[in-house]
Chains A and B, each alone.
Chain A
């Protein structure tokens, strides 16, 4: 028997077999394992970048002791698209499609957040009807966002039915988007100053259908999970975080509210006339997966109530007020196509906007909206050019994902999967 080489840890067995197998065994004597890998009692497990248990592009390098998670390192950046650099060379209206691609489960909120940032920066006043129309779209987007998150938590705990059942109502929401802006997922909805077109009757009919049918479906969905023994055992007490730690980690949105902090941008810094609406801010206590589920669930009911109030307010507009869907800001709002062909002034504005010939004022602004996952902030710095000098997106996902290790440490591997989906991590928002 040949002497083992220094550093080779696999012992050669005197294998009584012939030919090919023996040759392969011979070759294996030269494999060198990393130092310490035999003595080690934990296993390194690589989950992702693509994995059925992660909904999106996430990589986690986990150390597991049996099924317990000892530590993990999250790797992000697989779909980084340099949005902040791109935005430095685009006029304001061309940045809207970029914001679609942040949290693509609720892109209308991102679009509106960006328009509101621009309007605050340019000091534009919007008619109330536009604000209310925006509120309808944003709350629909919030419902579709929470709907996906909660039903995916169901999928990861073994209940696929709820997911498929509520999906048809996300479809209905997307049909409303389609009616308003022509697209479904990456919506590019609205313009600086309002909407590009008025809501059609079909849009309102679909909205009424949604308001009539969805609450019942949501109740059924809730019944499927909220007091379900299996679901509760899987989610209660897993992935929990205290309010102090959650704040220190920069949590916002439903995840922070589940930990017991009633911070909601819609209440604290109202935008788009949210102060005109009456709604509750649901909070949890333990910040675990179950509380996150319940908070999102309760928020969907609040969103339905907000949409109803907004729809009622819209119906109260009479005469010409009932036709208003954008502010009168010719410097930023594209004129109608038929006017461009027939009127000199409209042609001039059209040309100036499209060529990006309108200089921005100097200054900086931080403006935030309540996105599906929390405070979606836009930090805009202008040096008086036609494009932002610097634009930074405060992406809630990116900030709270760093707490993932603390949330799952010491728990079971299968709970880590549920924790990941109940945080509602969206890869597009993580990587910008």
Chain B
């Protein structure tokens, strides 16, 4: 796009671009993009700054562009002195790790198998798998099934049902079909490698970047998931994930009162609910922010693998 500043010799008046180095079109494009980027980013920045600002400073209002009046971590202290928070952080972290590993293992092996379309039966399995994307049993039948499996109100209901993920199955299957060079596999076979060796020595090392990308996506999904707790566990506070605690802090005034009371030990006045909400939001965002640089590096590739034909 280096061709932008094209001169039009027959136009007698100089264009804005020639006079000032830019024109309205450029200005509009930049303003539009910057405005939208600010809308996307500023709320998080605002909440972050507000959550570390002393309350006296915060009530004055303002745009919260920079922490003024010192950094105050009392809201975080309040949160971490509450046992619901610490338990739920542990639950969320463990289910994220276990769930991601399980789902990666099960989904990737099946995706590899199904990518071998010449093996009898694989096309049928593929259709069976993709069909579940559009047709599900629904909430109550699922609940009844989990009841029969004795999964209701257990930790594993937040992990096991996500063992096979249809979205990432499609992405991985397309990756194995189109992005891994077939010649390499054939070369390994000619050199005397059997199917087992091809998978472990050729396929897995080649798919490391893809597995990392999908793994990050899965991890974010597990971290953000509160649905399985809400539907299939509900009211078992030792199992609640962090996303659910966050939801309760945002919507449940009883929970908020309990958290505020916890602050009475080391704070003269009870912290305002709004500030505590912000601090909780930041805690929920933090792990995602930590992996975001890696996510961003991979995810464009990640979703395009499934969309672009080679």
Q: Is B a genuine binding partner of A?
A: no
B binding-site residues for A, Cβ under 8 Å: none
